[in-house]
Amino acid sequence: RPFLLKLVAWATGTSIGDDSQPAPLLLAHRQTTLFHLVDSLVLRLRSIATPYYMYVLPHTLRVLKAHTVLNDIPAQLSKVVKTDTEALPAIRHDKDDFCRPQVFEQLLTPMVQQVVQIALTTKSTTVVAPALGALAKRYNKEDQWKALNHQVLMFTRNPHNYVRVAALLIIQHLYNTLKEELLILLPETIPFLFEVIEDEDPWVEKTAQQTVNLIEQYLGEPLRRYFE
């Protein structure tokens, strides 16, 4: 624990000393190192290491909240957000600390907002989808699933096609993670799918159809009849 606390202080400190690099860039490098290390520790030690992530959690939230709106941030700082989000699947190995509802509430919105940030900068969901899937799996409660599902679905109405596609791919990931259990939220999901199934963008429309096909596999009946 002392080593980790020192590392967090080193990665988040504002005193750059005699280094010639600009402070924001150097801090971005340090933060990236911190999250890579935490991710590696959790992957290797699993539940033994996850309690220590609670010491990193406050900084995780600061990083995510600082970049929930797309803007012209330095490339290295974008990498920090990406690396930070990649470290969050550590949740799946946790047995105690991350199960607290207040932790879910703190993480949910900043994590979901990365759908916009990452989709528009990397055009990919390979970072945020596993993190959100791990969050849903760890918090096995309908109310928390409902909050997550709704926030992701709202991005299907985003003006950027990359974001709409990203939201649909994350919904697919959630169904592949939770399977039939997520069907409990189907009634509130249908109106959003109804909108994008005939989206003017072919890519969005195709992804929406793939999402419908996937849900039908778990539902066991055609979903389109609910669109009528």
Which among 38-47, 58-67, 153-162 has the top mean pLDDT?
153-162
Q: Cα Rg for the chain, rounded, in angstroms?
A: 19
139-144: average pLDDT = 80
Q: Are 112 and 145 in contact (CB under 8 A)?
A: no
- pLDDT for res 209: 95
Task: Specify the CATH architecture of the domain 140-228.
Answer: Alpha Horseshoe (1.25)
At 213, list the tokens. Answer: 């096909």
> Of 84-93, 109-118, 141-150, which range is least confident?
84-93
d(CA 210, CA 194): 13
Q: Read off the pLDDT band of 78 (50, 70, 90).
A: very low
Going from N- to C-terminal start, the domains of the chain cover: 1-124, 140-228
Q: Read off the pLDDT band of 192 (50, 70, 90).
A: very high
- pLDDT for res 74: 40
The tally of CA atoms less than 13 A away on the side-chain side of residue 5 is: 2
d(CA 81, CA 119): 12
- pLDDT for res 102: 73
Terminal C-alpha separation, the chain: 57
Q: Read off the pLDDT band of 130 (50, 70, 90).
A: confident
183-201: average pLDDT = 94
Residues 6+ apart with CB under 8 A from 16: 23, 26, 27
At 171, list the tokens. Answer: 């919904």
Please give the mean pLDDT across all residues of the chain.
75
- pLDDT for res 18: 45
d(CA 198, CA 145): 26
Q: pTM of the predicted model, to two decimals?
A: 0.73
Give the tens place of pLDDT for each residue, 22-53.
466 666 777 777 777 776 776 676 666 666 66
Say if residue 129's pLDDT is above 60. yes
- pLDDT for res 144: 86
Q: Read off the pLDDT band of 217 (50, 70, 90).
A: very high
> Of 4-13, 168-177, 185-194, which range is least confident?
4-13
